[in-house]
Structure 1
């Protein structure tokens, strides 16, 4: 079976007509994953509800229906912005094999606001989408039960919360147990046993004399009362379970209030105050080092411009002195040259020209270096060197001062934080009230658990009493009803029931042995940790899982991490799908839950591409993120990608091609 197309018209947050192509076949290749991304509240769960609703109608187990009547639920599903004249419509196109040939059907459900008689209208279209298949409309519930039974649908159309609940429980809940039995084909023998009981009881009434019938009816009346008591106690057990869950929530709220309003801080006040004193002493130590800096050169940081000006002026005057010295040396050399020229045989005219040239040359060399401003600093070399060292030392002192100020600021913020924590600490009388409220909530939880255990034991006793009444009814009837045919039916029925019991036990063992191996292989494949579990055993009654290591010793489930428990639950569902032999699509809402990165990677790379020939994933951007979607794309596992774009202003969702990235 393959889902090919889902059409939503004015359904939930989906306004107008929106179409999703779900065909996993792309470019003549099978890529199993159809990826739909959307934020929380954006309409992912609504898509799952749409698939369930279009397939099962009033029997659908939708997430938002609760205790609503079908009429109220259909009204609730109508888009708030829809035109009253338009109908709400859901269509699902699927393909499966009939008589060794692929056939396609389009299931259409439509209804109006406040539908007449609380009903919707079902239509089935054939391959060409033009002619209705009326014969299927009248027998649709039976047809879909043979194709995808409602009882097992939750094992193929499930969400992350269902996996988390399954991972945390020691054994699956009753609804999952029934689905597992249906998936493995174990319910048929039980159904036959019940049918035989009905047949035998009918024959007893038909062929028993008045006295026998009276006795039988008295036993049946007692048995009926016992069964009613059992149902009432079972309902009470469920109510107390719900009450216990509420009390545990209140207990957690009381504990959170105890923490948030200072209960824990009050117990730690001395430690907080000691930390506060330590921080204050550290600040005082830093401030002392600041005072030492202030006693040195740091005050000169107030006149940085004057220091820089003095340094610049000293440099100018030093260069001027150097220029003047070099000029005097050149003039002395020129005078020696002229004196020598006067001694040699050179005419006075030439000497005058040489002298004029030398004077002009000196003037040209030092014209640009002549200091216009008269020197006023008059600092020697040693003074200028000390000034440079002072400025360098001052810069280091400034950096040190900034670091110490930053340290003081950080320490003061830490002290303020400690002061706020101390201030939030509850007063002694408030602390007492908080502690008493917490203890009261804890006592209520303990009392509710005791009531739960009492009723659970009562149910076990009633089961024994009911079994005894059934045996008494059977024995009394067999002994006192003499009619040959009736006795034959009863005797044969007992033999058949015994045979069915043996058949069921053997079938269960065979199915569970195969299931145990498949679940173990799937778990180790997902976990990628071959030394954790060597064998997995499944209880024949509760379907609870037991894990054993290489030495045959039990591996307690509490030793598994939260991620490993979720992988075990997914491996259980995967193994069930394999053993059942049903080739059905798998749809998963919020698939990754609280898995860490390594377990998430294993699930993305190993489970999603192999879970089925068609895997519909509805995910947020934090579950299947950029890394995970790139991995799936690289492995060519994704056939189509959609983004559920939710507009918070209009509270409407539109379906767009593509994913978050």
Structure 2
């Protein structure tokens, strides 16, 4: 199957008629698998996926924006906002597939107005010659189920959110499980088992007498009532769960409001006041310590230069006094030396030289002893002054500076605490915020309790239904079977047992093949080829388990977020390959949280090989300049489009032969 062309007319953000050629054939001889459509978030990429689903399946389509809307409301919602009420909204999807060993082409046309007639679209199926095939349109749902069954369509038309959900959950979501069952053919055996049970019940009624029929009908009526109640409680639980989500959101909003309007700070006011009191006490302690320092030697720091000058002057006078004392002794010694020289009868010229030398030295010594002496400090006083200047005063100044820094820090903290107290809500506002928060918490508690009650009732009903079914089987076994062992009833039981064995063996055989395909795909996409040797799939939950080369389990938490996404993609890829169907693959926002290495593997290995036709809907941050150049170099892209969204008009235009780069 190949999608040839998609036409959108007044659909979603696409105003007017816009045509997108999806044919991977470039010319008669050449083709490339990838059709690349680029667009920013909100630019209409998901709308294209919805258009393909809507064209194929109509009212049964699982579109992203439908939610719980009726089909009529959903079609009305899809009409472009600028569309004239009299104009049609139209989707056309042309595709080609092999029928009776020959290629045939059809064009699906769905059109409607703002208020669709009978709440439905008008479906037309055109053949290659644009002739309307009314007969095919009447059985279209059955026909498309043979080409691309709705149950497995999500394996071929999926988005990044689906991959993300599949990657983060331990077991696949229900929609993927249903697709797997459809792909493996398990629903056929289950459906046959249900049909056989219906047939057996009919035969039981036919064979039972009046009394037994009444008892049998009473048991069946009880079973129907229990099943109806179960369905009602299940629907109620769904509504209660949605209500729980709403009240939890309301609770979060109340909490945010409580915090933003100062409720939290008001609740902590006493603690803040205590902190402020402690800081004030610490500040006062620092001030007291500074006053004690000021009462000691700290004020001398103001005249520190004068103290230094006095100390120097004292030392200078002390040295003068020492020199003067030494001068008297030296003069006496000089006189004795001269007397000795005269006695030794030394030559007169030499005596004169000695006299000159002694006179010169005495003059120098005399200069050292001259100077003003006004301080008259003794040695003990100089020593005390030295200790004050070079020890006590330095320590006191450092201590004072530390206390001053501490005081500044405490004052800044006091100011910050006062600001917090000022932003606190008033007592009246605080009480209002507390009441609102408590009311929201009360609603959450009640919603959780209601959900729990509904879940408990569902559990009780499950037991009651199981017991009723057992009673039905027991009654039939002990009464009807004993009275009449018709061939159909006996054979049906055997067939059901055979079906059970067949289903188990079919599941194992199919899953073994699927495990091989998923393992091969994952190892092909993963750049760390030695991390996982085998991927195993649980037969009941279809959850994945990983094993290394030695057969030891590899915990999923060892995988990075990107590797988990690659595993999810490998799972979807393996399912598509096992299906044996040559179908197009369309991927919305394909790269998610992958790093550059994993992106490269996906770009080079998965996209060109995922199918014969791969439609990629990407933003500029997913398939960027580097990635698109790689795809172009590998000749993997057949066509490129840019979805250009005008935020002022809220309209999207499709530009052909263009991407972001």
Question: Structure 1 residues 425, 3: CA separation in 2 closer, same or farther (over 3 Å shift)?
Answer: farther
TM-score, normalised on structure 1?
A: 0.70
**What SS does the corresponding residue of 1:125 show, helix, strand or coil?**
strand
Q: Which residue of 2 aligns with 1:44?
A: 45
Deviations 1:58-101 (A, max 9, x none): 22122222222222222222222223443222111111111111
**What SS does the corresponding residue of 2:42 show, helix, strand or coil?**
coil
CA drift of 1:136 comes to 0.6
Q: Which residue of 1 aligns with 2:612?
A: 613
Matches within 5 A, 1:17-28: 17-27=17-27, 28=29
Structure 2 Cα separation of the partners of residues 237 and 561 of structure 1: 35
**What SS does the corresponding residue of 1:520 show, helix, strand or coil?**
helix
Moved more, 138-147 or 539-548: 539-548
- Residue 632 in 1 paired to residue 622 in 2? no
Q: Which residue of 2 aligns with 1:202?
A: 202
Question: Number of residue pairs matched?
Answer: 519
CA drift of 1:480 comes to 2.3
Matches within 5 A, 1:157-172: 157-172=157-172
Q: Which residue of 2 aligns with 1:471?
A: 470
- Residue 108 in 1 paired to residue 105 in 2? no
* C-alpha contact (below 8 Å) 1:265/1:424 kept by paired residues: no
Moved more, 594-603 or 133-142: 594-603
CA drift of 1:439 comes to 9.9
CA drift of 1:122 comes to 1.3
Q: Which residue of 1 aligns with 2:15?
A: 15
CA drift of 1:196 comes to 0.8
Q: Which residue of 2 aligns with 1:93?
A: 94
Question: Structure 1 residues 181, 105: CA separation in 2 closer, same or farther (over 3 Å shift)?
Answer: same
**What SS does the corresponding residue of 1:103 show, helix, strand or coil?**
strand
Matches within 5 A, 1:78-157: 78-127=79-128, 129-157=129-157
Q: Which residue of 2 aligns with 1:538?
A: 537
Q: Which residue of 2 aligns with 1:528?
A: 527
Deviations 1:609-649 (A, max 9, x none): 12111111111111211111111111211111001111222
Question: Structure 1 residues 442, 637: CA separation in 2 closer, same or farther (over 3 Å shift)?
Answer: farther
**What SS does the corresponding residue of 1:26 show, helix, strand or coil?**
coil
Structure 1 Cα separation of the partners of residues 542 and 31 of structure 2: 34
Structure 1 Cα separation of the partners of residues 252 and 39 of structure 2: 31
Structure 2 Cα separation of the partners of residues 162 and 90 of structure 1: 25
Structure 1 Cα separation of the partners of residues 450 and 559 of structure 2: 30
- Residue 5 in 1 paired to residue 8 in 2? no
**What SS does the corresponding residue of 2:155 show, helix, strand or coil?**
coil
Q: CA RMSD in A?
A: 3.6
Q: Which residue of 2 aligns with 1:645?
A: 644
CA drift of 1:188 comes to 0.4
Q: Which residue of 2 aligns with 1:660?
A: 660
Structure 1 Cα separation of the partners of residues 567 and 521 of structure 2: 8
**What SS does the corresponding residue of 2:486 show, helix, strand or coil?**
helix
Structure 2 Cα separation of the partners of residues 577 and 53 of structure 1: 21
Matches within 5 A, 1:379-528: 456=455, 459-481=458-480, 487-528=486-527
Deviations 1:110-161 (A, max 9, x none): 222312222222111112x332222211111100011111122122111111
CA drift of 1:593 comes to 2.2
Unaligned 5+ runs, structure 1: 275-414
Structure 2 Cα separation of the partners of residues 139 and 225 of structure 1: 35
- Residue 563 in 1 paired to residue 562 in 2? yes
Structure 2 Cα separation of the partners of residues 591 and 554 of structure 1: 29
Structure 2 Cα separation of the partners of residues 432 and 554 of structure 1: 55
CA drift of 1:458 comes to 5.2
Q: Which residue of 1 aligns with 2:181?
A: 181
* C-alpha contact (below 8 Å) 1:261/1:424 kept by paired residues: no
Q: Which residue of 2 aligns with 1:216?
A: 216
Structure 1 Cα separation of the partners of residues 601 and 245 of structure 2: 33
Q: Which residue of 2 aligns with 1:303?
A: none
Question: Structure 1 residues 424, 231: CA separation in 2 closer, same or farther (over 3 Å shift)?
Answer: farther
Deviations 1:346-397 (A, max 9, x none): xxxxxxxxxxxxxxxxxxxxxxxxxxxxxxxxxxxxxxxxxxxxxxxxxxxx
TM-score, normalised on structure 2?
A: 0.70
* C-alpha contact (below 8 Å) 2:43/2:645 kept by paired residues: yes
**What SS does the corresponding residue of 1:29 show, helix, strand or coil?**
coil
Q: Which residue of 1 aligns with 2:591?
A: 592
**What SS does the corresponding residue of 1:653 show, helix, strand or coil?**
strand
CA drift of 1:653 comes to 1.2
Structure 2 Cα separation of the partners of residues 638 and 57 of structure 1: 30
* C-alpha contact (below 8 Å) 1:87/1:111 kept by paired residues: yes
**What SS does the corresponding residue of 1:644 show, helix, strand or coil?**
strand
Structure 1 Cα separation of the partners of residues 179 and 108 of structure 2: 24
Structure 2 Cα separation of the partners of residues 499 and 37 of structure 1: 52
* C-alpha contact (below 8 Å) 2:265/2:425 kept by paired residues: no
Question: Structure 1 residues 53, 219: CA separation in 2 closer, same or farther (over 3 Å shift)?
Answer: same
CA drift of 1:6 comes to 0.5
**What SS does the corresponding residue of 2:622 show, helix, strand or coil?**
coil
Structure 2 Cα separation of the partners of residues 94 and 423 of structure 1: 70
Structure 2 Cα separation of the partners of residues 185 and 424 of structure 1: 69
CA drift of 1:2 comes to 0.7
Structure 2 Cα separation of the partners of residues 592 and 165 of structure 1: 14
**What SS does the corresponding residue of 2:162 show, helix, strand or coil?**
helix
* C-alpha contact (below 8 Å) 1:203/1:486 kept by paired residues: no
Deviations 1:284-319 (A, max 9, x none): xxxxxxxxxxxxxxxxxxxxxxxxxxxxxxxxxxxx
Q: Which has the larger radius of gyration?
A: 2
Question: Structure 1 residues 446, 620: CA separation in 2 closer, same or farther (over 3 Å shift)?
Answer: farther
Unaligned 5+ runs, structure 2: 280-412
CA drift of 1:523 comes to 2.1
Structure 2 Cα separation of the partners of residues 599 and 436 of structure 1: 51
Structure 1 Cα separation of the partners of residues 205 and 48 of structure 2: 51
Question: Structure 1 residues 18, 136: CA separation in 2 closer, same or farther (over 3 Å shift)?
Answer: same
CA drift of 1:166 comes to 1.9
Q: Which residue of 1 aligns with 2:192?
A: 192
Structure 1 Cα separation of the partners of residues 530 and 424 of structure 2: 50
